[in-house]
Chain A
């Protein structure tokens, strides 16, 4: 079946611009996660949505980062006023239980 999909696959932006990254989870999965993979920091948790509950935002590195999940399905991660240190691969995962399935990621480059 279809896995987790993310778009765009690559995004190059200028410092100070806003970006939106999209995640389409596996159909029927109630939980959705965002992680960031960067050199020197490894894989870091950002935010977690579970059904209609309030999201766990404990991993967001600053208030420039936000995410929403509409209709319990698609999610958008927004980074405002991007900085060079935001350059990373942003990964989305979804699950219906304890196992998370990852998408291919969006590689963000901030010039």
Chain B
């Protein structure tokens, strides 16, 4: 079965610091990769996605992620975080191994301090 690992469970950064959240998945075939964000008190929102093509994808609010097939990784990055980026971030994958259903990582709670 597909599995997704997020290595950082809690991250605390100061404003303007750079962010990188790790995500690794287990299935070696063709997959679709997603990052979702859940702001406090809000529902899950799509941040960005990768289906094919350019492995560097850009999402909303200045976030980007890089798909590295050889490392089964899809790490999320942002050059300079803001207080408003405080949220929980989830990496997810779907694909032939699991069909259309999403398999999520355990999430990373990001706190950005002023």
Query: A residues touching B (Cβ–Cβ < 8 Å)?
Result: 31, 33, 35, 42-45, 48, 50, 56, 58-59, 91, 93, 95, 98-105
Contact = CB atoms under 8 A, between A and B. Distances in A.
Interface of B: 32, 34, 36, 42-46, 49, 51, 90, 92, 94, 99-107
B43 A50 contact: no
Contacts, number: 51
Given A42-B105, A42-B107, A98-B51, A91 B100 contact: no
A33 B43 contact: no
Give the dominant DSSP class at A's interface.
strand
Contacts of B105: 42
Give the dominant DSSP class at B's interface.
strand
Given A98-B32, A98-B51, A45 B102 contact: yes
Given A43-B90, A91-B44, A105-B43, A99 B49 contact: yes
Q: What 10 A-B pairs have minimum CB-CB distances, sorted nearest first? A: A43-B104, A102-B44, A104-B43, A45-B101, A42-B106, A102-B43, A48-B101, A98-B32, A42-B104, A99-B46
Contacts of B45: 102
A40 B100 CA distance: 24
